Structure 1
């Protein structure tokens, strides 16, 4: 590849996919039972979801400065142009840490071409941006060209998702206590989206069965060329519902390429088991 693509584990692409495409991976940390684990390496999503179902409250922390510095230095020594696509800065400090380490390494290796981009995305919304970037790299596009097209994708990436229990998002500070209490008391299933990198409540839907249908309705309202763009569905240990949503989308829009993967350990520690998330572009695919 002309450009090395780097992503962190919050993109929720499995290790097998990262390896297949030659994407360099940096793992966030999951704290559980007084132990630290590397997301997707020393702990898998299923372990986190089972722990949460048993009343435990895992925490997460960003990619360490040392991890960034070691990777960036190694790539600088190889003279490799690089693009790091980071988890939303509104949900993690990972992007800011990467920018600090970028400056340090480029001070020592002034010819090192590294772009660090805040995707303002999470889970497979982030993952779809990463996959498009690596496809462009394999086509021989330049660092600036890949950065420009990746920026287009991240700016137009829709995140529509629902969670089984708002308590998990409350614990992680992702929504207010009042919002969590309101949703739980009324047995409401929330529909949320991402706006400027932040999790924002979109609608409150009474009854779990209506949620998937409403997700496809929002997709129709916001999406463009839905039959011809790749979309993604991530799930919190609920493959059955994820596949049901995929079937609904294929039937309604004729979508040809649908990626289905689990919400990873670091994102899942906040969203919780039963999460279903849908990602697509609200502009033409480029």
Structure 2
């Protein structure tokens, strides 16, 4: 059984290679060049270019990429599961469904499940990692599908950005809001709800917004000391480590997965963004 994911998981390339999860790279356009996220350009290069004034754009996985991969899977008589980047944030999910349905016309017995993660970054990555665990346990496709679909609404995202200007460039906030926020040192606190980015509140100063995130983790999380909590950062490992320390101190969390936010998402949030991902309901085995 093949498991597919796209690069919006923010899982490193080494994870894909180690677990034999098949990667669909999103695309990043910067300084007149097109790159495949993760395999063609490292996120650190993108952040450095953004700091120098570049304004990257991103695009979804091409229909041809899905069609070719799914057709090969169908011809080989293999089963597959593709957990996709949130359909509210990218057209990738809908494109994959269309290509799957096209293949089904020729191969009516083709078994490919496509699940909308309704998530981004390591919120999405947690779902993929769980699917890999279930595959390793030998569960059949239908059971894995059921468990992952049940897990989707339990994944919590909390994040903030260093500079609202980066989100304004991508149309996520107005330029006026970004300007005023910059003057007042306001840091937005956001989460993801049904796959969409939703602002929760605005907090004065970086230090206060980090502590507010820690508070919300405690309010929303369940059995935190038994979870693996993911932290992602946009080229700011120092703050990610600070967040790890705060969470350990507050809730006794021992297991963390710290990753850099990849190019596809980093292009929209900009350097300095910090995110925390955890579950509001624990999963059975």
TM-score (normalizing by structure 1): 0.96
Give the CA RMSD over aligned residues.
1.2
Deviation at residue 178 of structure 1 after TM alignment: 4.3
String of CA shifts for 1:255-278, please: whole Å, max 9, x gaps.
232100000000000011001000
Instruction: Mark the runs of 5 or more structure 1 residues left unpaired by the alignment.
Output: none
CA contact (8 A) 1:90 1:198 kept: yes
Match of 2:182 in 1: 184
Deviation at residue 185 of structure 1 after TM alignment: 3.0
CA contact (8 A) 1:4 1:137 kept: no
Match of 1:267 in 2: 265
String of CA shifts for 1:57-85, please: whole Å, max 9, x gaps.
00000000011111111222222211100
Match of 2:149 in 1: 151
CA distance in 2, matches of 1:79, 1:179: 52
String of CA shifts for 1:18-75, please: whole Å, max 9, x gaps.
1111100000000011110000011110011001101110000000001111111122
Higher mean C-alpha displacement, 9-18 vs 196-205: 196-205
Secondary structure of 2:272's aligned partner: coil
Deviation at residue 213 of structure 1 after TM alignment: 1.3
Deviation at residue 173 of structure 1 after TM alignment: 2.1
Runs (4 or more) in structure 1 with deviation over 6 Å come to: none
User: Could you tell me which of 113, 116, 120 is aligned with 1:115?
Assistant: 113
1:21 has 2:22 as partner = no
CA distance in 2, matches of 1:68, 1:7: 11
Secondary structure of 1:227's aligned partner: helix
The aligned length equals 284
TM-score (normalizing by structure 2): 0.97
Deviation at residue 145 of structure 1 after TM alignment: 1.0
Instruction: Mark the runs of 5 or more structure 2 residues left unpaired by the alignment.
Output: none
